[in-house]
């Protein structure tokens, strides 16, 4: 019987382990930290709720209004209701500590053996063809250092995120990583009401030279963050200051309860399958450009990889070859999503180029066809065919917006108006006595490991 180890208990690992366990294959899922709060905005598309049978109880908020804010603070509201979706359409907002533990526990309930351990070393056998011996520190007994153990398996799924050890063991090659920084800011109830079902996306050189910044609502706080590509990593703290400054009047009386940062892969690794080791999710490099979306693609790649393994191993009765894994999992993945990644890469290059292009981008988001196209592909992961007239209109609008963007680009930035309608005078008077406070440094849950990474970069 085939023995499979899934390294990493995030969405990619849990969704892989679940499929393998359901098929009756001997499956171990390794997670180093069972209460891990992966630094993440936590936005998921609606289709994921149904496709992965997620209970609504693990969602903090249902966002029905996405506010796009241009460099000159021009605001465009994209409301999902008037776009004509049949059912209640929303973007799900979750806290990863809740989301990940639900999926991980479900895979264990379905028969995967959940091991609370850090995999430290992998012996990969002759020519990396296995069998594979994992050396891991088992924390099941609660000690700080763990008990060293080994396990031999026939196949490994590397679902261990952007700093993947499996990728190193299999010599998958490097990828560029963007850096994302996020503060969780708790707001008083009256300020939080504004973010009830609303999320904000800010663009501008002040918040990111090549990405966007966000304010995403969670249960009792907002996640405020930004990201930038590898070559601009040293700017990240200044960019976070930028988003704080721009959203300052809406984050009034906020208290920083957690500071987090983490790398985001910019593109897939050169090799995603070597021997009987396959990478999924962030370990493989499946985050989209422009939107920075990775949760759905992590879960989906874990599932697709595991389904391919179940199929080619005839439910675990034989050991698949490297060639078989490549010609099922990788081929199907690239066929299904290759175009999506390519298109989002191009859009990022066009619209996040400079502030004039960003003005044009936000202006275009005011168009109903653009909104429908964007949200159909994000919420439902489906390709929308446009009729020729819509295509012509969209092309002309893009060109016109880009040209007009040159005139609209701002020379400096200001903060957006207060969410609760205070005048500038009231705001300044109140702010003088109450700036955003921080208790993140005293917060034991705060991700100090990741913070120090950013500090040193």
The reply to whether 29 sits near ligand FAD by the rule CB under 6 A is: no
For residue 428, how far is the Cα from the chain centroid? 35
CB of 30 to ligand FAD, least distance (A): 4
Token pair for 377: 């592909």
> 315 vs 448, which CB is nearer to ligand FAD?
448
**According to the binding rule CB under 6 A, does residue 119 interact with ligand FAD?**
yes
Choose between 223 and 408: whose C-beta lies nearer to ligand FAD.
223
**Which one of the spans 275-283, 338-346, 363-371, 424-432 is the region binding ligand FAD (CB under 6 A)?**
275-283
Alpha-carbon distance of 174 to 13, in angstroms, equals 20
Residue 39 interacting with ligand FAD (CB under 6 A): yes
Residue 38 interacting with ligand FAD (CB under 6 A):
yes
Letters for 389-428 (x = contact with ligand FAD by CB under 6 A, - = none) are ----------------------------------------
How far is 10 from 31, CA to CA, in rounded Å? 8
Radius of gyration for the alpha carbons in the chain, expressed in angstroms and rounded: 23
Q: Which of 165, 258, 358, 451 binds ligand FAD (CB under 6 A)?
A: 165
CA distance 155 to 372: 42
The token duo for 163 is 């700093």
How far is 451 from 457, CA to CA, in rounded Å? 10
| CA contacts within 13 A on the Cβ side of 81 | 7
225 near 183, Cβ under 8 Å? yes
> What is the number of the residue whose Cβ is closest to ligand FAD?
294
Considering Cα of 387, then 389, then 395, then 397, what sign does the dihedral take? Answer: negative
Cβ density class 282-293: b for 16+ within 10 Å, e for less: bbbbbbbbbbbb
Alpha-carbon span 307 to 316, nearest angstrom:
11
Q: Which of residues 207-246 bind ligand FAD (CB under 6 A)?
A: 225
Site for ligand FAD in 61-90 (CB under 6 A): none
* E strand or H helix at 212: strand 208-217
Out of 31, 60, 183, 355, which residue is the one contacting ligand FAD (CB under 6 A)?
31
State the nearest-atom distance from the C-beta of 118 to ligand FAD, in Å: 5
Residues 286-305 close enough to bind ligand FAD by CB under 6 A = 287, 292-296, 298
The verdict on 112 binding ligand FAD (CB under 6 A) reads no
Which of 28, 41, 191, 247 touches ligand FAD by CB under 6 A? 41
In total, the chain counts a number of residues equal to: 457
Question: Six-digit token pair at 360?
Answer: 């044009």
Instruction: Candidates 183, 200, 282, 363: give the one binding ligand FAD (CB under 6 A).
Output: 282
Candidate ranges 26-34, 51-59, 142-150, 403-411; the one touching ligand FAD (CB under 6 A): 26-34
Tracing tokens 């619209």 back to the chain, one arrives at: 351
CA angle 348/352/354 to nearest 5° reads 150
Among 28, 30, 90, 202, indicate the residue that binds ligand FAD (CB under 6 A).
30
- Segment interacting with ligand FAD (CB under 6 A) among 184-192, 238-246, 282-290, 357-365: 282-290
Measured distance CA(54)–CA(215) in Å, rounded: 24
Give, as ranges, the residues between 295 and 354 that touch ligand FAD (CB under 6 A): 295-296, 298
- What is the C-alpha separation between 317 and 324, in angstroms, rounded? 15
Q: Which stretch, 190-198, 236-244, 276-284, 343-351, contacts ligand FAD (CB under 6 A)?
A: 276-284
Chain mean position to CA 392? 33
Site for ligand FAD in 125-164 (CB under 6 A): 159-161
Residues that bind ligand FAD (CB under 6 A): 7-13, 30-33, 36, 38-43, 118-119, 159-161, 165, 180, 182, 225, 262, 264, 281-283, 287, 292-296, 298
């Amino acid at each position: 019987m085939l023995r499979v180890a899934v390294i990493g208990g995030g969405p990619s690992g849990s969704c892989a382990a679940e499929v393998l366990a359901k098929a009756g294959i001997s499956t171990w899922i390794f997670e180093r930290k069972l209460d891990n709060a992966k630094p993440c905005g936590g936005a998921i598309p609606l289709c994921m709720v149904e496709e992965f049978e997620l209970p609504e109880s693990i969602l903090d908020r249902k966002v029905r209004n996405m506010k796009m804010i241009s460099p000159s603070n021009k605001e465009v509201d994209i409301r999902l209701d008037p776009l004509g979706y049949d059912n209640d359409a929303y973007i799900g907002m979750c806290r990863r500590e809740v989301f990940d533990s639900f999926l991980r526990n479900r895979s264990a309930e379905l028969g995967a053996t959940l091991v609370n351990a850090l995999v430290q070393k992998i012996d990969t056998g002759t020519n990396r063809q296995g069998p594979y011996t994992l050396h891991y520190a088992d924390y099941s007994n609660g000690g700080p250092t763990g008990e060293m153990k080994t396990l031999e398996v026939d196949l490994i799924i590397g679902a261990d995120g952007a700093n993947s050890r499996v990728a190193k063991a299999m010599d998958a090659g490097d990828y560029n990583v963007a850096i994302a920084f996020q503060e969780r800011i708790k707001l008083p109830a009256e300020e939080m009401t504004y973010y009830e079902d609303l999320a904000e996306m800010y663009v501008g050189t002040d918040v990111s030279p090549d990405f966007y910044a966000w304010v995403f609502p969670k249960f009792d706080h907002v996640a405020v963050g930004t990201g930038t590509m590898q070559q601009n990593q040293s700017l990240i703290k200044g960019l976070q200051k930028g988003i704080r400054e721009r959203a300052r009047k809406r984050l009034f009386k906020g208290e920083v309860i957690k500071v987090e940062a983490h790398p985001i892969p910019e593109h897939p690794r050169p090799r995603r399958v070597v021997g009987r080791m396959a990478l999924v999710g962030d370990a493989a490099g499946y985050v989209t450009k422009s939107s920075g979306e990775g949760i759905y693609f992590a879960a989906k790649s874990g599932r697709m990889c595991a389904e391919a393994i179940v199929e080619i191993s005839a439910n675990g009765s034989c050991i698949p070859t490297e060639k078989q894994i490549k010609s099922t999992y990788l081929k199907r993945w690239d066929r299904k999503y290759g175009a999506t990644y390519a298109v989002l890469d191009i859009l990022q290059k066009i619209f996040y180029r400079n502030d004039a292009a960003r003005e044009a981008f936000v202006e275009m988001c005011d168009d109903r066809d653009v909104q429908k196209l964007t949200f159909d592909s994000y919420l439902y992961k489906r390709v929308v065919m446009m009729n020729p007239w819509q295509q012509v209109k969209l092309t002309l609008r893009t060109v016109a917006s880009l040209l007009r963007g040159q005139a609209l680009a701002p020379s400096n930035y200001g903060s957006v108006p207060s969410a609760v309608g205070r005048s500038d005078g009231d705001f300044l008077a109140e702010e003088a006595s109450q700036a955003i406070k921080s208790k993140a440094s005293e917060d034991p849950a705060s991700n100090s490991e990741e913070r120090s990474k950013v500090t040193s970069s």
